[in-house]
Amino acid sequence: MANPQDKKNQAEGGFVYLPLIAGWLVPGAGHFLLRKWGRGALLAASILGMFGTGLAMDGQIHTGAHDILDMLSMAGDLGTGILYLLSRVMGWGTTLVQVTTGDWGSRFIVVAGLLNVISAVDAHNLRTGRKA
């Protein structure tokens, strides 16, 4: 049985996929749109923290797919949304990985993208009332 919050979310007008798209583009934005300020802030801090730590560790952002692993890594990187575009524009994550921590950093960036996708889907579930 749907609780009052579900009904409120379902009753909200507008584009139903907006929290999903906003959440993908900007970490936490999907939850902010639904006025879930605390959850949104924690998600944004975690995803930005993971992404920032990855960059600080000299992680690489994948710009092209040469083999299946590169393709999967690039798919993960794309999950960071606007951060990926920003990185491409600003030239972040372009140094060649020469140290072990750089390799870990690349994984941090990929996982930040995957976590962002999970959080965007969660915002969509909140919007549709599938989750309270």
Partner 1 sequence: MFRPSHFLAVLLFALFASVVFGITQRETPPKMVRYGIYCFVLFVGSAIVLSWLMYFIAR
Residues within the interface to partner 1 (CB under 8 A): 39, 42-43, 45-47, 49-50, 53, 56-58, 99, 101, 104, 108, 111-112, 115, 118-119, 121-122, 131-132
Could you tell me the CA-to-CA distances from 92 to 17, 49, 57, 73, 115 in Å, in that order?
30, 15, 12, 16, 20
**Residue 21 or 48 with smaller CB distance to partner 1:** 48
**Residue 72 or 132 with smaller CB distance to partner 1:** 132
Question: Structure tokens of 2?
Answer: 């749907």
**Residue 68 or 119 with smaller CB distance to partner 1:** 119
Name the region of 35 (left: φ>0; alpha: ψ -120 to 50; beta: rest).
Answer: left
What span, in angstroms and rounded, lies between the C-alpha atoms of 36 and 28? 9
* Closest distance to partner 1 from the beta carbon of 86 (Å): 19
* Closest distance to partner 1 from the beta carbon of 81 (Å): 15
**Residue 9 or 119 with smaller CB distance to partner 1:** 119
Question: Structure tokens of 38?
Answer: 């605390």
